[in-house]
Structure 1
């Protein structure tokens, strides 16, 4: 192939890439916005800045809890299991943090796919007093793409994802996350 055709193909490829990127950047913009009418394009998802997907789970006491009930507070959603050594190490730190009565902060500890009796025994052993939710089917863990435990999501007061932390945390780390 001669140099002329190579240049033409390269130029066409670059124009195509630029056009695709422009289209991708603009696909959420509506024509209504262009005439000055505000449109709410809140996106639900698990990425930073997105509105966290709402869910309803039962506590070990049988009470239904909705994530959306906690809007107005910062929320730590912690995914864990009783058999997980890092989760076991993290729980006393979470309890200590919770006992410090953090202002305007809630912990929701979501147990993944274990029976209520086993979770209740664990809660008693570790003397946990923050809400323990049961995700017996694992559907919430799946929605939040929890592949490693413990995994914690920090949500802002408006319910948007601030940060995802994979691995155990200690009390000092929790305080820093909430402060920042």
Structure 2
């Protein structure tokens, strides 16, 4: 049974990022939810990243964004277009209502930091940390530029993990040629992992997170936990529990298609 699924569509706040890719650069660096103000669309600011142009310009929680580039906000695509046509260092004009005041702020686009979990409260949207040299099996199968990457945080003693392994192996065997990479990540001792591999060989790379850096960084508290990354290494979805093969295949193919 699938216990938890988190993705950008299910999170109540959206990132003020670039239009063509939810996790691309540059960005404004705030989260918001859609509301109505004086019969028009407005974006109520939920949070502001401390390394963003919004923070520097003085945007704060509960501000209402009502205009962009001198035009009344009527559709979220106006924000996306303004950002997508810009680059880091460029200034975007943002009209904000704060209480009974209307402010005309100049927000400088910035490069998007890899870790935005302090803004979203989730690993989603952050860029996965680089792997070390601790691939204990199939490290030579790493892809240089995968179109989608699925990370499986698992343990040899975990029943649902064992149920998930053949599902992932099947999806990998079908779609590795299409740009899918799967990496199994465990924090157990090498003797235990190699003994398990001897009885349950995996076709995809396996990584030993001996220091548990990845587990702590992304708050992994249950196994199996799976993370789906886009072609740039940004986390798009996170879920725990043993998924069906049909579900895994559907999700990874969506990401692969986006990369084409």
Q: Could you state the TM-score of these two structures normalised by the residue count of structure 1?
A: 0.73
| Residue number in structure 1 paired with 2:204 | 130
| Residue number in structure 1 paired with 2:68 | none
Q: Is 2:160 aligned against 1:86?
A: yes
**Cα shift at 1:132:** 0.6
Contact 1:151 1:167 survives alignment (8 Å): yes
Note closer, same or farther for the CA distance 1:57–1:169 as it changes in structure 2 (3 Å cut).
farther
Tell me which of 28, 44, 47 is aligned to 2:115.
44
Note closer, same or farther for the CA distance 1:26–1:53 as it changes in structure 2 (3 Å cut).
closer
Tell me, in whole angstroms, the C-alpha distance in 1 between the residues paired with 2:166 and 2:243: 10
Greater length-normalized contact order (CA 8 Å, ≥ 6 residues apart): 1
**Cα shift at 1:97:** 1.2
| Residue number in structure 2 paired with 1:177 | 251
Q: Is 2:175 aligned against 1:104?
A: no
- Structure with higher Rg: it is 1
Matched residue count: 157
Alignment gaps of 5+ in structure 1: 1-20
| Residue number in structure 2 paired with 1:54 | 130
Q: Could you state the TM-score of these two structures normalised by the residue count of structure 2?
A: 0.52
Note closer, same or farther for the CA distance 1:119–1:23 as it changes in structure 2 (3 Å cut).
closer
Alignment gaps of 5+ in structure 2: 1-43, 58-88, 92-105, 117-121, 255-260
Tell me, in whole angstroms, the C-alpha distance in 1 between the residues paired with 2:195 and 2:46: 54
Tell me, in whole angstroms, the C-alpha distance in 1 between the residues paired with 2:152 and 2:226: 4
Contact 1:115 1:136 survives alignment (8 Å): yes
Q: Deviations over 1:99-151 (max 9, x none)?
A: 11341110010012x11121112122122121010012222111111000000
Q: Residue 42 of structure 1: SS of its match in structure 2?
A: coil
Q: Residue 130 of structure 1: SS of its match in structure 2?
A: coil
Contact 2:123 2:218 survives alignment (8 Å): no
Pairwise CA RMSD: 3.0
Tell me, in whole angstroms, the C-alpha distance in 2 between the residues paired with 1:64 and 1:175: 23
Higher strand share: 2
Higher helix share: 1
